[in-house]
Amino acid sequence: MPPRREKPSGPAPSADPAHFEEAVRAFRRKDPITSYELDVLDAAERERSFWVSGVAEADVVQQVYDAIDDALEQGLPLADFRAQVEDSLMEAWGFADSPRIETIFRTNVMNAQNAGRYEIMTAPEVKDARPFWRLDVVDDDRQSDICADFDGDPIILPADDPFWDSHHPPLHFNCRSELAPLTAEEASDEGLTEAPPDTEAADGFGSPPSVTGDDWTPDLSAYDDEIAAVMRDRLGL
């Protein structure tokens, strides 16, 4: 058996310092909406949406959206994001909640970065060269119960394995797990997984991201006139 691979250490909550074009593009495919609008969206539409829990003011949601976009575009850290949004979120929530602000930042940045990596890994030429994926989880004192279940021998499976249909990172709020593409030789050397744990991702997590979203058109007939008008405007319908 090959020696056990060193696990990645937990990074500070920060966007990628280099300009990660695919991650920025993935985040910008999302449309900012209020929590009121969220209630009428189905799962596919939510995947194309950005919202802040407990915030019904569209201008505050847009401010948070823009701050995350800045973090991804410029590689800004959590401190910069907090400085841009903390006062507005405190006013919208009616109380201070520093951990919640970090969760918003970390989850959205990691979601965008994983979506960007997915776009790269599923490109035909990359997938042909690296047809296996490995789930890398962070092993530290902030590890979640969900990721802890995958913190043994690494999960290594073909890129087309159905397991990835429900276990694409992030797997929960604040998740720092990532997928790494492997060549057939690397996968063979490390050893394929025979039976991955049946642990499920948290509700709303684990599905592969949309790469383009160009073919997504919502059915607006069930929405009230105000929400339908907002959706049409934002989607250019």
- Looking only at the bridges linking them, the beta strands covering 31-32 and 155-158 are unpaired
Whether 50 and 77 share a structural domain: yes
Judge contact between 205 and 172, C-beta under 8 A. Answer: yes
Judge contact between 10 and 28, C-beta under 8 A. Answer: no
Quick one: DSSP state of residue 162? G
Residue 155 within a domain? yes
Whether 135 and 229 share a structural domain: no
Whether 63 and 139 share a structural domain: no
Residue 112 within a domain? yes
The residue range of the domain holding 196 is 124-210
Burial class (CB in 10 A: 0-12, 13-18, 19+), 221: exposed
Residue 21 within a domain? yes
Quick one: DSSP state of residue 216? -
Residue 178 within a domain? yes
Q: What pTM does this model have?
A: 0.74
Residue 3 within a domain? no
Q: Rounded CA gap, 56 and 160, in Å?
A: 39
Burial class (CB in 10 A: 0-12, 13-18, 19+), 196: middle
Whether 99 and 159 share a structural domain: no
Residue 111 within a domain? yes
Residue 5 within a domain? no
How many independent structural domains does the chain possess? 2
User: pLDDT band for position 3 (50/70/90)?
Assistant: very low
pLDDT in tens, 123-174: 999 999 999 999 999 888 888 999 999 987 889 999 999 999 999 999 999 8
Q: CA dist 182 to 45, 124, 193, 194, Å?
A: 32, 14, 13, 17
